[in-house]
Amino acid sequence: MCKLGIAPKNKGMFSGTVISNRSVGERFYRLSIGFSDAGGEAFRGCVPGQFAQLDLSEVALPSIDKIQPELADSSKRSILLRRPFSFSDVRIEGTETIVEILYCVVGPASLRMTSLSADDNISVIGPLGNGFSMLKKKVTALLVVGGMGAGPLQHLANFLKEEQPNLKVVLIAGAKSKEEFPFDAESFCRYEIETVLATDDGSAGFKGFVTDCVLDWLGKNDLRSEDIIIYSCGPELMLRRVVEIAAEREIDCQVSMERLMACGIGLCQSCAVECKASSGETVYKLCCKDGPVFDGEKVIFKL
């Protein structure tokens, strides 16, 4: 198994400059940050699925009319800890490396993020963790996305098409309804890929859960299991079902897990993921250091 791309050697704390921060839906934003010098070098080789810790403690809250009523109380909380975010894109422009984060406003830190604007400086620790790996002989990569899992798989889709042009990349993305997709299906990937949408309410594409849509797609496409790899990111219940489907069909599967993270670098043990060791025993891996991407068959899901 080989890592996608060249894992960056120089992780560290870097100051980035905000290039843009645009709203792409009711609660979704795309934040682009530029890095030069050592930061540019470090993020240049970022592997899809890796993440960074952003310091949002000094960022001001948006004006009161821009705060959703359900976040009014929590918005006042001070931001003691950095927050982890993965990248939806990493590109090189001249001497700069530009990373993009697709984020959803869910609490005080992501709310403050919406106030960032061009030329603001932001402290970022990264790139952290281990990203997706590629099994060389695969013919089809099935990217299974639930809601905000779109970010790292968007990065992965572009990366795979650039590095392995002959690999067929298929996106199967699910959300509750059409409005809940944090991306535009046509522009998810810079290259043409087969895209299948699933919505719980049937407002776009397949009506039903994204995992049923995966079963439907596998049923319609007569492929050898050993030729497929599934990459997935999204809510844990969905990941659990994706892993079950992959195991039933003996398809290789990697999942990007999320955990509450305090340090992000393996010191505080707050992000444990229960896994199966090859001996059959249970071991605790750290999402920030050993993950966030894990072999699906190794994860013991709690939900």
Ligand X SMILES: Cc1cc2nc3c(=O)[nH]c(=O)nc-3n(C[C@H](O)[C@H](O)[C@H](O)COP(=O)(O)OP(=O)(O)OC[C@H]3O[C@@H](n4cnc5c(N)ncnc54)[C@H](O)[C@@H]3O)c2cc1C
Nearest distance, CB of residue 20 and ligand X, angstroms:
16
Nearest distance, CB of residue 37 and ligand FES, angstroms:
27
Structure tokens at 36: 């030069």
> Whose Cβ is closer to ligand X: residue 232's or residue 251's?
232
Which of 59, 101, 218, 273: binder of ligand X (CB under 6 A)? Answer: 101
> Whose Cβ is closer to ligand X: residue 2's or residue 80's?
80
Contact residues: ligand FES, CB under 6 A: 261-264, 266-271, 286, 288
> Whose Cβ is closer to ligand X: residue 57's or residue 164's?
57
- Residue 185 burial class via C-beta count within 10 angstroms: exposed 0-12, middle 13-18, buried 19 and up: middle
Of the candidate spans 60-68, 101-109, 201-209, 275-283, the one that interacts with ligand X by CB under 6 A turns out to be 101-109
d(C-alpha 202, C-alpha 233), whole Å: 21
Nearest CA among 78, 2, 87, 8 for reference residue 40: 8
End-to-end CA separation in angstroms for the chain: 29
Nearest distance, CB of residue 123 and ligand FES, angstroms:
17
> Whose Cβ is closer to ligand X: residue 251's or residue 291's?
291
- Radius of gyration of the chain, Cα coordinates, nearest whole angstrom: 19
Which of 90, 143, 145, 261: binder of ligand X (CB under 6 A)? Answer: 261
- Among positions 275-294, residues that touch ligand X (CB under 6 A) are 292
Nearest distance, CB of residue 152 and ligand X, angstroms:
7
Nearest distance, CB of residue 303 and ligand X, angstroms:
11
29 binds ligand X (CB under 6 A): no
Structure tokens at 267: 């010191």
83 binds ligand X (CB under 6 A): yes
Give me the 103-142 binding string for ligand X, x by CB under 6 A, dash otherwise: xx-xxxxx--------------------------------
d(C-alpha 196, C-alpha 145), whole Å: 10
**Among ligand FES, ligand X, none, what binds residue 264 when CB lies within 5 to 8 Å by partner kind?**
ligand FES
Cis bond leading into 292, ω under 30°? yes
> Whose Cβ is closer to ligand X: residue 230's or residue 261's?
261
Nearest distance, CB of residue 36 and ligand FES, angstroms:
28
d(C-alpha 239, C-alpha 49), whole Å: 15
32 binds ligand X (CB under 6 A): no
> Whose Cβ is closer to ligand FES: residue 107's or residue 266's?
266
**Interaction site with ligand X (CB under 6 A):** 51, 83-86, 101-104, 106-110, 148, 151, 258-261, 292
